[in-house]
Chain A
């Protein structure tokens, strides 16, 4: 895609490559980390910091200025998903690469209906809502009991850079 179109795509809310505030964890650390690591996609300076204030381990580092983009120390992240449910931008997810040989466990924020249940098949979508593959719901949690759910979906490992949302079909 020409740079101009890529920029337009990014300007419409689709991440088109790594940027400050939107980096993937280092692969070597990620591969062996049970529970998974956080992926944050928040590339714009906005006055917001609940990802940091909700993180119990300090993995999302303190903000010098509340407008900074989040910086992550992945060595401290336990994959607990507290930030996933606290972030008002729904910009955090956790991906656990140790789930199985072929599949990773994707832990995604979800505030829609219907709420899926364990064992249900859901559609895995990319950043533009396009269908990628079918995934299986392994768990549904509500870390802060505030109606933002975190849906744990097992799906192919090959989707780590693209699978960012689910569609639940009744």
Chain B
């Protein structure tokens, strides 16, 4: 078993992790990024659409290009950052203060780090309905991986479940790949994602059925269709039922933060609905109650790549500072300014409520777990 050690360990090479690595390295720290996927970039490499936000967060640039920009920045610190891909951090052992990681299926590592930034992103949720385990019911992320990363057609005709930003954007991306979108069903009385993303697919003829949900999937070995139904105000199925012909059912009903490693490290966790799950409490430097652990990006609450990148920068900055590397005065405030301006909209108000719940002034005086 190989042993590795580093000053800053970044777990997850998505928007948050790559930004954290770049920031910590620019301050002088030695950084190891561990990414379970075959290539780094996280959600970003699956996004063909241009991002929102402002210029500081590369608004108007397509997601996969933003990943390239971040990787270029990291490459400029080649000597101090290394990236291990196809490697999953599987656990943290407090007694030994050590991580275990697995590359591929059979190569194992022990990793020791002075500071660890957990930027593990999010996991997709699934909703219960009969036959939801049959091949052809795929998470939105899986559909994106197949078609946008590997160029494989995920199906011919799809039913999209969920009209949040992910459901809307992936519907659009499916059409770009040449897949027909039969319909988008959404239980709420309005689309949850940005209105402009809905308008984009509406004018290409895709019905978005509000107050509708999937009742069951059809098919023996693979999906051959779905039955959808109308819902009442209490989200109870009241019909009418409708059969949709499709060979793909794409589930986009939301994400939950991936936080197992933070729990294993004894970080104080808190269930915050506005952040979509159980997340670590943190101070302004993204440091958790375990002084050697930081959280950033979707792992700390489901938000946007724009915010994930800024949070990553903050975590990288504080980890480097905690190791004694000189950091620019006022940078932390500048980053918080950016976060605040990103969080001013309708969606941002919810995020701010959530952040208020988990943000602690400082950890001094709080008993460390």
Interface residues of A (CB under 8 A from B): 8, 11-15, 41-50, 53-54, 65-67, 86, 88-91, 111-113, 125-130, 146, 148, 164-165, 167
- The docked-state distance in angstroms from the alpha carbon of A139 to that of B196 is 25
Interface residues of B (CB under 8 A from A): 49-55, 59-60, 62, 163, 175-176, 178, 189-191, 194-206, 208-210, 304, 306, 341-348
- The docked-state distance in angstroms from the alpha carbon of A41 to that of B199 is 9
- Report B-chain residues with C-beta under 8 Å of the C-beta of A126: 203
- The docked-state distance in angstroms from the alpha carbon of A141 to that of B224 is 40
- The docked-state distance in angstroms from the alpha carbon of A111 to that of B346 is 28
- Report B-chain residues with C-beta under 8 Å of the C-beta of A164: 203
Can you give 24 A-B contacts (C-beta < 8 A)?
A11-B190, A11-B210, A13-B198, A13-B202, A42-B195, A45-B345, A47-B342, A47-B345, A48-B52, A50-B59, A53-B59, A65-B344, A67-B346, A88-B196, A89-B52, A89-B197, A89-B199, A90-B196, A112-B175, A113-B176, A125-B204, A128-B205, A129-B204, A165-B204
- The answer to whether A130 touches B210 (Cβ under 8 A) is no
Which chain A residue shows the least CB distance to B206? A129
- The docked-state distance in angstroms from the alpha carbon of A67 to that of B345 is 5
Q: Least Cβ distance of B323 to chain A in Å?
A: 33
Q: When A and B form their complex, which 10 residue pairs have the shortest distance between CB atoms, in order from nearest? A: A129-B205, A13-B198, A89-B196, A11-B190, A67-B345, A88-B50, A50-B60, A165-B203, A48-B52, A44-B195
- Report B-chain residues with C-beta under 8 Å of the C-beta of A91: 196, 199
Q: Least Cβ distance of B189 to chain A in Å?
A: 6
- Report A-chain residues with C-beta under 8 Å of the C-beta of B201: 13
- Report A-chain residues with C-beta under 8 Å of the C-beta of B178: 113
- The answer to whether A11 touches B189 (Cβ under 8 A) is yes
B342 touches which of A8, A66, A86, A88 (Cβ 8 Å): A66
Known: A54-B60, A89-B194, A128-B205. A13 touches B199 (CB 8 A): yes
- The answer to whether A47 touches B60 (Cβ under 8 A) is no
Q: Least Cβ distance of B191 to chain A in Å?
A: 6
- The answer to whether A44 touches B202 (Cβ under 8 A) is no
Q: Least Cβ distance of A53 to chain B in Å?
A: 6
Which chain A residue shows the least CB distance to B211? A8
Known: A11-B190, A12-B208, A12-B210. A45 touches B203 (CB 8 A): no
- Report B-chain residues with C-beta under 8 Å of the C-beta of A66: 53-54, 341-342, 344-345
- Report B-chain residues with C-beta under 8 Å of the C-beta of A41: 196, 199
- The answer to whether A14 touches B54 (Cβ under 8 A) is no
- The answer to whether A125 touches B194 (Cβ under 8 A) is no
- Report A-chain residues with C-beta under 8 Å of the C-beta of B203: 125-129, 164-165
- Report A-chain residues with C-beta under 8 Å of the C-beta of B194: 44, 46, 89
- The answer to whether A47 touches B199 (Cβ under 8 A) is no
- The answer to whether B196 touches A47 (Cβ under 8 A) is no
- The answer to whether B344 touches A49 (Cβ under 8 A) is no
Known: A47-B52, A67-B345, A129-B206. A15 touches B176 (CB 8 A): no
- Report A-chain residues with C-beta under 8 Å of the C-beta of B208: 12-13
- The answer to whether A88 touches B176 (Cβ under 8 A) is no
- Report A-chain residues with C-beta under 8 Å of the C-beta of B51: 88
Q: Least Cβ distance of B144 to chain A in Å?
A: 16
- The answer to whether B204 touches A42 (Cβ under 8 A) is no
- Report B-chain residues with C-beta under 8 Å of the C-beta of A13: 191, 195, 197-202, 208
- The answer to whether A129 touches B345 (Cβ under 8 A) is no
- The docked-state distance in angstroms from the alpha carbon of A151 to that of B346 is 33
Q: Least Cβ distance of A63 to chain B in Å?
A: 9
- The docked-state distance in angstroms from the alpha carbon of A130 to that of B202 is 10
- The docked-state distance in angstroms from the alpha carbon of A82 to that of B208 is 30
Which chain A residue shows the least CB distance to B204? A129
Q: Least Cβ distance of B18 to chain A in Å?
A: 21
Which chain B residue shows the least CB distance to A147? B62
- The answer to whether B202 touches A112 (Cβ under 8 A) is no
- The answer to whether B195 touches A43 (Cβ under 8 A) is yes
- The answer to whether A44 touches B52 (Cβ under 8 A) is no
- Report A-chain residues with C-beta under 8 Å of the C-beta of B306: 47
